Structure 1
Amino acid sequence: MSDVRKPPIGRPRGFDADEALQRAMVVFWEQGYEGASLTDLTGAMGITKTSMYAAFGNKEDLFRKALDRYADGPAAYVARALALPTAREVAAALLAGAVAASTTPGCPAGCLGVQGSLAAGEGGRTVRDLLADWRDQGRTHLHDRFRRAVDEGDLPPDADPRVLARYVTTVANGIAVQAAGGASRDELQEVADVALRNWP
């Protein structure tokens, strides 16, 4: 029996795919989907366009992967907030998380999920719809959590989980937009605190 090993098929990647995806996420976060050119992306990732297509697919595929990374990284506060014991704690943690994620030193201001395609034209419609669905899904999880709070007596019986979920997500999205416009962390935390003053 021969002990000759077969050479690996294809050339091994000459770059760290995880690090490259992290850098692509930052470019999309800073520039939005349409604003980020392939040259911007591959330059930041340190790879060629051919390597990008081979490892990640086209620009839209890369954006989807970057959004997943964002959800598991900077936006992971959402899942943690939903697991808190009271509806008020959930809302407070979501808003505080939005403030922190939108104003983290060394990261772009604002939220990739909010600003990623707000100014997209017809060519960015698919990504604009993707992000709208992403935000809707977050609001749905929040609605379900607030519905449970009503059922458990944590929120009053006349509280409307749908309206509360939309209220909290609207404030959180507004925090991201204000952060991108230059508002400070302290200023935005004041907004979050005011938003909770009339919590049911």
Structure 2
Amino acid sequence: MTTKERGRPRGFDADAALDRAVEVFWRHGYEGASLSDLTGAMGINRTSMYAAYGNKDELFRRAVARYAEIDMAYVREAMTRPTAYTVIEAFLRANADALTRTDRPAGCLSIQGGLACGSDNGHIAQFLAASRLAGEAALAERLTQAVTENDLPAGTDPVALARYVMVVSEGNAVHAAAGVDRAALHATVDFALRAIPH
């Protein structure tokens, strides 16, 4: 390969193509997204896809990372709120809004993407579960800080509280994918927030 060939641009916007792959995986899940679906949506051929992103598994992992960076930016914003209650409220409210955006598929990529995974021996489902648990651990860390600062009552279990918040979020994601509307998801958040000490 010559220097000129190595330096030649790909001829497509890699981030834009990845964003289109996110949507395909989100709508169809890992199993349901065929290479033809992916390359068609991305506007590239298979050779270009393999060169830019690797195989389907690697493309999916990059799509999930892109989804976390772009579509879940609200999580990072929520974590900056001054109190545990406002962190949780901001997260659950923004999550309900994100799950019901009209310009995106309903629900959540990390839930939808792993449905009906079978042929890969569960690797994708395990990857997605690990991703969700990493988010739960980050929330638990923030809530541990709140306990230390006496923002949450002494004796509050930050790990169990983080798990509760994620169960509400993930449950809302399943319901959103089934067609439940934004107002109904926010009504669930209203109930969930009553359990948050503040």
TM normalised by structure 2 equals: 0.94
Where in structure 2 are there 5+ consecutive unaligned residues? none
Identity of aligned residues (%): 52
Q: Which residue does 2:93 correspond to in 1?
A: 96
**Do structure 1's residue 32 and structure 2's residue 35 form an aligned pair?**
no
Q: Distance in 1 between matches of 2:141 and 2:109?
A: 24
**RMSD after superposition:** 1.4
Could you tell me how far 1:198 is from its partner in structure 2? 2.6
Of 8, 22, 30, which residue of structure 1 is paired with 2:4?
A: 8
How far did 1:118 drift? 2.8
Distance 2:30 2:119 in 1: 12
- Aligned residue type for 2:110: G
2:39 is the alignment partner of 1:42: yes
Mapped pair 1:112 → 2:109: yes
8 Å Cα contact 1:117/1:124 also seen in 2 = no
Q: How far apart, CA to CA, are the structure 1 residues paired with 2:162 and 2:196? A: 12
Question: What residue number does 2:76 align with?
Answer: 79
Higher gyration radius (CA): 1
Cα distance in 2 between the residues matched to 1:56 and 1:175: 31
Q: In the aligned structure 2, how far is the partner of 1:18 from the partner of 1:145?
A: 31
In the aligned structure 1, how far is the partner of 2:153 from the partner of 2:42?
50
| Alpha-carbon distance in structure 2 between the residues aligned to 1:154 and 1:95 | 19
Whole-angstrom CA distance in 1 between matches of 2:148 and 2:16: 44
Which residue does 2:135 correspond to in 1?
A: 138
Cα deviation, residue 158, structure 1: 1.7
Q: Give TM-score, length-normalised by structure 1.
A: 0.93
Q: Distance in 2 between matches of 1:17 and 1:124?
A: 29
Using the alignment, how far apart are the partners of 2:17 and 2:173 within structure 1?
25
**Aligned mate of 1:170, from 163, 167, 171:** 167
Which one-letter code corresponds to 2:51 in the other structure? Answer: A
Report the alpha carbon displacement of residue 124 of structure 1 after superposing the two structures with TM: 5.5
User: What stretches of structure 1 move > 2 A for 4+ residues in a row?
Assistant: none
Q: Residue 22 of structure 1 corresponds to which residue in structure 2?
A: 19
Secondary structure of the structure 1 residue equivalent to 2:5:
coil
How far apart, CA to CA, are the structure 1 residues paired with 2:119 and 2:53?
23
CA deviation vs aligned residue, 1:58-110 (integer Å, no higher than 9, x gap): 00110111111100111111111111110001111111121111111110000
Q: SS at 2:196's partner residue?
A: coil
Deviates more, 1:13-22 or 1:135-144: 13-22
Give the superposition deviation at 1:7. 7.1
In structure 2, how many angstroms separate the alpha carbons of the residues matched to 1:75 and 1:142?
A: 14
